[in-house]
Amino acid sequence: MTQLIFDLARRTTYQRPDFLVSDGNRKAVEWIDRWPLWPSAAIVLHGPPGCGKTHLAHLWRQRAFATLLSGEALTEAVLPALLEHSLLRIAVDDADRASTRALLHIYNSCVERRGSLFFTARSEPDRWPSMLADLRSRLRAAIVIGVGVPDDALLGAVLAKHFAERQIRVSPGVIAYLISRMERSFAAAGLLAARLDDAALSAGTSVTVALARRILPELGHPSSPSGSESAVT
């Protein structure tokens, strides 16, 4: 008999213990820990989707008691409310999608009032669309840090953490199989663990390579890294 699965939503948490540090993100973590002793008013953190930029923005928000908003939410219309605080500490996630006029305004205000800014983006500021010359000039004084995609060790640790939170025992062989085929992002790791958990519960089995081989294509991942199946089971 097929087991019924109840979809109990799991809220994403952005706490420090939930963030795993690796060589690819260590520099960003170190700069967060150095705040407020920054030599610049702003940090710009750039990297591909799923590399942990949003989590890092939340970590800085917690440390600095800052306001965090998305780039799409940062428009000139919200500036009066945003800038009314005496201490300007603002994090903008996906700042490359924000109004550049609004970004310039909050940058100038933060410099004038000795505030702090934490921007995340997919690329370095010089590559942001519709960049104002004044903003480009000012951001050249910012601390710019690149964050890479998770390496094998970090991706494996993230997967293991997701499975452990779901009280699932998964062999190292299954983890190795998954990381050689899945999208290299934290978001993909969470979705993959959730889907494998649901599939295993529904089938009344454990999470195995055979199950992973079936589920990976459903999520848009290849079942083999090079066209040949792994002998791991």
**φ/ψ (deg, to 5) at 86:** -70, -35
Residue that terminates a domain, selected from 146, 176, 197: 146
Q: Is the pTM of this model over 0.75?
A: yes
Tell which of 106, 127, 146 closes a domain. 146
Q: Lay out the sheet containing 116-121: strands in order across.
A: 67-70, 89-93, 116-121, 42-46, 143-146
Q: What is the pLDDT of residues 153-209, one digit of tens each?
A: 989 998 998 899 899 999 999 999 999 999 988 888 989 999 999 999 999 999 999
CATH of the domain at 193: 1.10.8
Is residue 85 domain-shared with residue 50, that is, in the same domain? yes
* 154: containing domain: 150-219
- DSSP letter (8 states) at residue 119: E
The shares of helix, strand and coil residues in the chain, as percent rounded to the nearest 5, are 50, 10, 40
Give the CATH number, domain containing residue 134. Answer: 3.40.50.300
Total domains in the chain come to 2
126 and 89, same structural domain?
yes
Residues of the chain with pLDDT under 50: 1-10, 226-233
The pLDDT score that the predictor gives to residue 5 is 33
